[in-house]
Amino acid sequence: MSTRTCIILGAVALVAAGCQPKAPGGSLVLTQTPVQAEPLQNTTLMDVRYPHGSRVLLLAPPFGRDSVLELSRGLVAAGDPCVSWDGRWVYFAGKSSDEAIWQIYRVNSGGGLPELVTRMPGGAMGPAIAAHGQLVFSSPVPKAGHLSAAQEPAALYGQMPGHEPYRLTFGPDNAVDATVLRDGRILYVSARARDNYRTPKSLGLFTINNDGTEVTAYACQGDGADFVQRPRELDDGRIAFLTAHSGEGGSMAWAESVKSAAPFATRGSLFKFGVVGIRSVEPTAGGEVLASAETRSGLGRSMTGNAKIFRVAAGDASLSTPLVDDPLWNSIEAMGVAERPEPSGHTTAIMPASHYGTVVCLNVNDSSEPAAEGNLAPAAELRVFVPDGPGLARTLGTIPVDADGSVILRLPADVPLGLETLDAQGHVLRHQPPSLWLRPGENRACIGCHEPRNHAPRNIRPLATMHGPAHLELTSQTSAAHAATP
C-alpha cells in the first residue's frame, strides 16, 4: 500500500471518526423488555432477564416515544448495557437469532448498527469498561437457575480493543455483574466461600484489579439477603446493589447499599422509602440515581408492563413521577449518556512467563473466626489444596508455620487455592475452601486466615521473611483426591 493511500485511508478514518453521531445531551440508554414474553424452557440466565424482543434504545429528552432510537437493531434480544467513559459507545449483550448465543456488541451512542465485539464459545454477558477502554465481561453465560451453582462457572474476562480476551477470575463459582470502580478495581458478584460444597451458596461482592490480581471480598458476606446483583458505585461513595432472598432478582428485588468507607458494617436500604420490585439502579452524573421499579409488584416475576424508570434524589421520601413510562414495555434499565471521569488504571505486575505466585501470610492465627472445636492451639502447619471435582480436593503440600504464625508460599498460579491451618497433632484449626487464586508473578499478602475485614497489618516484621518461600507444585502426583472438607 502506498504512502498516499495510507494517508488517504487515515484521513478518511479520522473524518469518519469525527463524523460519528453522538447522542444528544441528556440522553438515556434504556433497556425495554416486552410486556408479554413467552416463557422459555432450558435457556440461559440472559434469556430470562432479556426475553425475545428485548431491546436497547437511545432516548433523548423529553423522553417521549418520538425521540427513541433503537441501538440493538438486527438483534432478537438485547440488554445489559453500559456506556463508555467518554460517552461515545454503548456496549450491551445481544443475540442475533433465537438459536444464537449471547455476545457483547457495541454501537455508537448516537446510533448505527451494532458491531460484534466478543466471540466467546459459551457466550458473553455483563459488559463493563475499565481504564484505557478495557472491556470486562462474563463468560460463559450461566444456564437459567444456575446463577449460584454451575459445573462450568462463568469467569470474568478482559479484552483490550482489537485484541483477544484474557481470563481474569479463576474461582470455583460464577463471577458476574461486573462494574468498574473509580479506583480502577472491578467489582463483581460471586458466591461466598463455604466450607461444605453441599451448603447452599450465597452471593457476595468481590473485587479484583483489572489484571485479575488481589481478589478480595468487598461486602455482603453473610450480613443480609443471600442473592445480590448489579452493584454500582454512586457519587456519594456508596455501593448500590439489588438483593433478594431467593431466585435471581426480578420483581421481589429491592435496593440496598453499603458505604465504601466501611462496606462490612453499613449494609442498609438504598432508599429512604420501602419499595420492592426494583429492576435496576444506575448512578447519574448529578448524584441522583435512575431506578427501574415495578409499581404494581406481586409475588414472583412480574411481566405486567409496569416497570418504569424513576429519578431518585438523596432524601426523596417516595418515588416521584416516572421519567420513562411506556405501558407497552417494561423499562428495566436506564443510564445517562455523558462523558465521565475514566477510572484509574493499574500497572500490572503479572509475569506471563511465570507459572507461580507468592503469598505472604503475616500470622495464620490472626483470625476473626474461632478455631474448630474451640481449639486454642497455635497453628503448627499450613496445608494447601486445590479442588478436584465436586466435594473433592487434592493437597499440594503441608508446610511448617514460623513461630510468629507467618508463612511465605510460592504456589501455582491461576487455580483456586484452599488453605487449612493444623495444630501440632495435625488437627484442622481453620479451613478456607478453594476460592482464592494468584496470578502469574503476583506477590500477595494477607494478615491472617479469615482475616478481619478492611484492616491494615500491624507493623511487625514477619519471621518468614528471614528465609525463602516454601514451594508447592501442582503435579499429577501431588496427592490422591480426598474429601474437600475436614
Partner 1 sequence: MNLKRIIVVTSSLALAVAGATVGGLSGMREHERIRSGLPNLGLVSCMKCHERGLDSLPWAKPRPHHDSPDGIAVSPDGRTLFIALSDRDEVAEADVASLAVTRRLKVPGGPFGLALDTAGNRLFVACRNQDRIAVIGTRDLKELDSVSVGIRPTAVAYCRTPNGERLIVPNSGSDDISVLSVAPLLELTRTAAGREPYSVAVSDGGRRVYIANRMSVHERLLSQPASEVTVLDPSDGHVLNRVDLQSAHLAEGVTDVPVRGWVINSMVRVRNLIPITQVKDGWVMSSGIAITRHDGSVTQVPLDEANAYFPDPSGIAASPDGRRAYVASGGADVVTVLDLDRLGAWLDHAGEAERGDAPENMALSYRYVAARIPTGCNPQHLALSPDGSRLFIAERLDDGILVVDTTSLKPAGRIILGDRGLDDPIRLGERVFTRARYSFQGQFSCRSCHPDGHVDGLSYDFDGAGVGDNLLANRSLCGVAGTEPFKWNGKNPTLQYQDGPRFARVLMRTDEIPQPQLDQLATYIKHLPPTRTVPWSRVGQPLTPSEERGRKLFFATRRPDGTPIPFARQCQTCHRPPLFTNRLMTSVGTQGAQDSSGVFDTPHLIGVGAMAPYLHDGRARTLEEIWTVYQKDDLHGVSSYWSKEQLNDLVEYLKTI
CB of 102 to partner 1, least distance (A): 32
- Dump the DSSP string for 234-262: -TTSEEEEEEESSSSSSTT-EEEEEETTS
**Out of 34, 122, 145, 184, which residue is the one contacting partner 1 (CB under 8 A)?**
184
**What distances in angstroms separate CA 376 from CA 4, 76, 198, 233, one per listed residue?**
78, 60, 28, 41
CA–CA dist 227, 241 (Å, integer):
10
The reply to whether 260 sits near partner 1 by the rule CB under 8 A is yes
Q: Give me the least distance between CB of 262 and partner 1, in Å please.
A: 4
Nearer to partner 1, 125 or 228 (CB): 228
Half-sphere exposure of 364 (CA within 13 A, CB side): 33
Q: C-alpha distances in angstroms, 23 versus 64, 88, 109, 210, 327?
A: 15, 8, 5, 28, 25
Of residues 392-431, those binding partner 1 (CB under 8 A): 408
Residue span binding partner 1 (CB under 8 A) among the ranges 240-248, 289-297, 378-386, 442-450:
442-450
Among 3, 151, 459, 477, binds partner 1 (CB under 8 A): 459
Closest approach of partner 1 to the CB of residue 432, in Å = 18
Q: Determine the Cα–Cα distance for residues 137 and 95; give it in Å rounded to an integer.
A: 15
Instruction: Give least dist CB 302 to partner 1, A.
Output: 35
Least separation in angstroms between residue 317's CB and partner 1 is 24
Contact 132, 110 (CB under 8 A): no
Whether residue 306 contacts residue 293, with contact meaning beta carbons closer than 8 Å, is answered with no
The residue count of the chain comes to: 486
**Contacting residue, 8, 11, 40, 262, with partner 1 by CB under 8 A:** 262
**Can you tell me whether residue 11 is helix, strand or coil?**
helix
Answer for which of 196, 465, 473, 483 binds partner 1 (CB under 8 A) is: 465
Q: Which of 244, 444, 450, 472 binds partner 1 (CB under 8 A)?
A: 444
454 binds partner 1 (CB under 8 A): yes
Closer Cβ to partner 1, 21 or 287, answer by number: 287
> Cell 405486567 belongs to which residue?
304
Using CB under 8 A as the binding rule, whether residue 163 contacts partner 1 is answered as: no
Nearer to partner 1, 311 or 439 (CB): 439
C-alpha separations of 210 from 116, 137, 157, 206, 346 in Å: 22, 12, 9, 13, 7
The 240-259 site mask, x for binding partner 1 (CB under 8 A), equals -------------------x
Q: Which is nearer to partner 1, 308 or 346 (CB)?
A: 346
Q: Mark the segment that binds partner 1 (CB under 8 A) among 80-88, 108-116, 169-177, 447-455.
A: 447-455
Q: Does 217 bind partner 1 (CB under 8 A)?
A: no
Residue from 200, 237, 298, 390 touching partner 1 (CB under 8 A): that is: 237
DSSP 191-207: EPP-S-TTSPP-EEEEE
Q: Which of residues 21, 26, 268, 345 is near partner 1 by CB under 8 A?
A: 345
Q: How far is the CB of 181 from partner 1 (least distance, A)?
A: 8
Q: Is the dihedral of CA 408, 412, 413, 417 positive or negative?
A: negative
At its nearest, how many Å lie between partner 1 and the CB of residue 13? Answer: 26
Smallest gap, in angstroms, from Cβ of residue 285 to partner 1? 17
Burial category of 118 from C-beta neighbours within 10 Å (exposed 0-12, middle 13-18, buried 19 and up): buried
Torsion of CA 455, 456, 459, 465, to 10 degrees: 100
Total of chain residues touching partner 1, rule CB under 8 A: 45
Question: Which residues here bind partner 1, judged by CB under 8 A?
Answer: 131, 181, 183-184, 209, 214, 216, 237, 259-266, 344-349, 358, 360, 362, 408, 443-445, 452-462, 464-466, 468-469
